[in-house]
Homo-oligomer: A and B are copies of this chain.
Amino acid sequence: MEKPTLPKGTRDFGPAMMARRQYIIGVIKKVFEKYGFQQLETPAMENLSTLTGKYGEEGDQLLFRILDSGDFTKLLKSKLLESNQDRLIDYLNLVREKIANVYKVSHSKSDDLIEIKKTWRTQRLFVFSGATELSQDEEQALDEFLNSDFITDLICQEIEREFFKIKGLVDPDLDWHFKQFEKEFINKLVADILRNHIVANNVKNISAQESVRFVAEKGLKYDLTVPFARYVVMNRHEVTIPFKRFQIQPVWRADRPQKGRYREFYQCDADVIGTDSLICEAEIVLMIREVMAGLGIEDFTVKVNHRGILSGLAELAEAKENESALFVAIDKLDKIGEEKVKEELISRGFLPTSIQTIFQILNFKGSNLEKIDFLNNKLGNTEKGSKGTQDMMALIEILSKFDLHADSFDLDIALARGLSYYTGGIFEVKINNVAIGSVSGGGRYDNLTGVFGSKEKLSGVGISFGLDRIYDAMEELNLFPPETDVSSEVLIAHLDEKAMSYGFTALKELRKDGISAEIYPDITKLKKQLDYANKKKIPYVVVIGEDEMKSGKLSFRNMKTGDQQSLTLDEILIQF
């Protein structure tokens, strides 16, 4: 048998990695909660109608699609049924009419429902000829079908309905009968007759590509933002506005897997929506600092910019209509350098004088306050530009109330961020001296729920932490505290059956004190038990043999130093 493998771009997280990941998540989560964010979880699966069209054409390509469950051919059929709906309703109405007639005829002979039904059952004279545009084959099949036991049962229900209606009696199940009739009739009609005619022909005509799209209605979520927006739209009245939510869940992208890029990975997002207060921007800076401090990452830069400043820049360069091309180009500065960006701008129709203006501003060096002053001079007359510098100034002022000086973040005029929907402040965090991209990013957007047609404009601002990159950086900087590697605190080891049984008491008492502890479950050599402790990085082992049982003094071994003491159980318990 072949050894099993993992799908490309996915990973298992074994105990050691898991403990470290949970450590990072724990720190992030604690900060989110401390700032009043509440947790949301949305399903892995979303309807494709929720996901498509939200991430651009490229994004749509990268969605993982889930096949509808059940029989594929049936599903395809039900899709075809949808498109033949009108035709089928026609059939149904004809059948109803027929039933009403039969009822009237039978009724003239008897007033007894059972009698009427019996007539129908025995006669079954249901000929459908000439009723619709059916081929002869189809017509024959339809006739056979309509005279089948199945449809006779259904029709008897319809007769009952007719009977009650005419009698003026109220049958509580009437509606149910009615719906059931309609549903089952149509299902059967499609399944048993049209299969060999309409459907089979259609299946042949549908290309493989189309047929697959037909039967995948769900996809795996691509990020946490769109499901969040969907949640807000669906639960608008239960949601407390401003809504501060955080979400820590995996997302999926059918990207080409490569080093550091996975097809399934966690995002850790926090967003506030329903307010445009700059306090939220300030809190994002504060939260980033708390997360970094909590993780022990000291040397990092919080880059901040404002889309308004970039828009002002575009206006100044007389490229207002072309601002998104400008943002895209500036976003690449880090990667491809100034010259290449200039080339790209020229190819996009920017004038050399515009480009000169742009880079004169982008390359301005100075403190944040100097930058704001400079930008005010340059962009003060542009509407969006002045809003941008005002916001940045306000941000600095709010942060000062939290004891942060004006250069606690780095106002980076050249920070653009890829996503198109940002409209205000934008953020990015880099860990200095580690060759890893940004570990966190975010920004303000104007109208989160607009993609779902919501008219109420909910402005919001969010931040996302990249778990994988933070993990890699922390490994490189050796920042995981040794405790994260520990599983149990204590292992009870034993030299024989009796000693093992004796060890249960120690185990019980340790756990009673809330200490994570375990006993080696098999009788085996001490070496193997100590190996087990070492592999699991259990820091202390209690060894029990004949001497220990006699004296009541247990061997308490520190696995790191190798020191061993003889201690009573009580003495051991106070070690923790």
A252: Cβ under 8 A from any B Cβ: yes
A306: Cβ under 8 A from any B Cβ: no
Q: Which residues of the partner chain B approach A49 to less than 8 Å between Cβ atoms?
A: 2, 4
Complex contact B218–A7 (CB within 8 A)? yes
Q: Which residues of the partner chain B approach A1 to less than 8 Å between Cβ atoms?
A: 452-453
CA distance A240 to B536 in the complex (A): 7
State how many angstroms separate the Cβ of A529 from the closest Cβ of chain B: 11
CA distance A334 to B112 in the complex (A): 44
A401: Cβ under 8 A from any B Cβ: yes
Contacting residues of chain A (47-76) with chain B, CB-CB under 8 angstroms:
47, 49-50, 61-62, 64-67, 69-73, 76
Complex contact A208–B203 (CB within 8 A)? yes
Complex contact B511–A34 (CB within 8 A)? yes
Copies of this chain held together in the complex: 2
CA distance A174 to B420 in the complex (A): 45
Complex contact B67–A275 (CB within 8 A)? no
Cβ 8 A contact of A215, one of B10, B212, B233, B522 = B212
Complex contact B13–A67 (CB within 8 A)? no
Q: Which residues of the partner chain B approach A76 to less than 8 Å between Cβ atoms?
A: 208
A298: Cβ under 8 A from any B Cβ: no
CA distance A171 to B453 in the complex (A): 61
Complex contact B73–A34 (CB within 8 A)? no
Contacting residues of chain A (466-525) with chain B, CB-CB under 8 angstroms:
487-488, 491, 500-501, 504-505, 508, 511, 514-519, 521-522
Complex contact A15–B40 (CB within 8 A)? yes
Complex contact B69–A62 (CB within 8 A)? yes
Q: Which residues of the partner chain B approach A242 to less than 8 Å between Cβ atoms?
A: 521-522, 532
A14: Cβ under 8 A from any B Cβ: yes
Q: Which residues of the partner chain B approach A501 to less than 8 Å between Cβ atoms?
A: 401
CA distance A61 to B46 in the complex (A): 21
State how many angstroms separate the Cβ of A448 from the closest Cβ of chain B: 13
Query: Nearest chain-B residue to A5 (Cβ)?
Result: B47
A359: Cβ under 8 A from any B Cβ: no
State how many angstroms separate the Cβ of A537 from the closest Cβ of chain B: 10
CA distance A532 to B275 in the complex (A): 13
Complex contact B235–A14 (CB within 8 A)? yes
A166: Cβ under 8 A from any B Cβ: no
State how many angstroms separate the Cβ of A195 from the closest Cβ of chain B: 13
Q: Which residues of the partner chain B approach A277 to less than 8 Å between Cβ atoms?
A: 521-522
Complex contact A10–B452 (CB within 8 A)? no
Q: Which residues of the partner chain B approach A230 to less than 8 Å between Cβ atoms?
A: 4
State how many angstroms separate the Cβ of A203 from the closest Cβ of chain B: 6
Q: Which residues of the partner chain B approach A366 to less than 8 Å between Cβ atoms?
A: none
CA distance A279 to B517 in the complex (A): 14
Complex contact A44–B44 (CB within 8 A)? yes
Query: Nearest chain-B residue to A517 (Cβ)?
Result: B36
Complex contact B6–A47 (CB within 8 A)? yes
A173: Cβ under 8 A from any B Cβ: no
Complex contact A211–B209 (CB within 8 A)? no
Q: Which residues of the partner chain B approach A4 to less than 8 Å between Cβ atoms?
A: 47, 49-50, 230, 233-234, 452
Contacting residues of chain A (230-257) with chain B, CB-CB under 8 angstroms:
230-231, 233-235, 238-240, 242, 244-245, 250, 252, 254
Known A-B contacts A12-B42, A216-B67, A264-B45; A73 and B209 likewise in contact (beta carbons under 8 Å): yes
CA distance A44 to B43 in the complex (A): 12
State how many angstroms separate the Cβ of A414 from the closest Cβ of chain B: 29
CA distance A138 to B127 in the complex (A): 52
Cβ 8 A contact of A43, one of B66, B245, B264, B280 = B264
CA distance A401 to B216 in the complex (A): 56
State how many angstroms separate the Cβ of A48 from the closest Cβ of chain B: 9
Cβ 8 A contact of A40, one of B6, B18, B204 = B18
Contacting residues of chain A (278-297) with chain B, CB-CB under 8 angstroms:
279-280
Complex contact A519–B279 (CB within 8 A)? yes
A421: Cβ under 8 A from any B Cβ: no
Interface 0/1 of A453-471, CB less than 8 Å to B:
1000000000000000000
A178: Cβ under 8 A from any B Cβ: no
Contacting residues of chain A (121-171) with chain B, CB-CB under 8 angstroms:
none
A309: Cβ under 8 A from any B Cβ: no
Complex contact B38–A13 (CB within 8 A)? no
A364: Cβ under 8 A from any B Cβ: no
A109: Cβ under 8 A from any B Cβ: no
Cβ 8 A contact of A220, one of B34, B66, B240 = B66
Cβ 8 A contact of A244, one of B42, B217, B245, B518 = B518
CA distance A530 to B402 in the complex (A): 24
Q: Which residues of the partner chain B approach A70 to less than 8 Å between Cβ atoms?
A: 61, 254
Known A-B contacts A6-B234, A47-B7, A521-B280; A66 and B69 likewise in contact (beta carbons under 8 Å): no
Known A-B contacts A4-B233, A254-B70; A40 and B13 likewise in contact (beta carbons under 8 Å): yes
State how many angstroms separate the Cβ of A197 from the closest Cβ of chain B: 17
List 12 A-B pairs, Cβ < 8 Å: A4-B47, A4-B50, A4-B233, A4-B234, A15-B38, A18-B38, A18-B39, A18-B40, A36-B516, A44-B250, A211-B211, A280-B521
4 further A-B contacts with Cβ under 8 Å, apart from A3-B453, A34-B517, A67-B67, are A2-B49, A4-B233, A73-B208, A73-B209
Among all A-B residue pairs, the 6 with the closest Cβ atoms: A1-B453, A69-B254, A36-B518, A15-B38, A277-B521, A10-B43
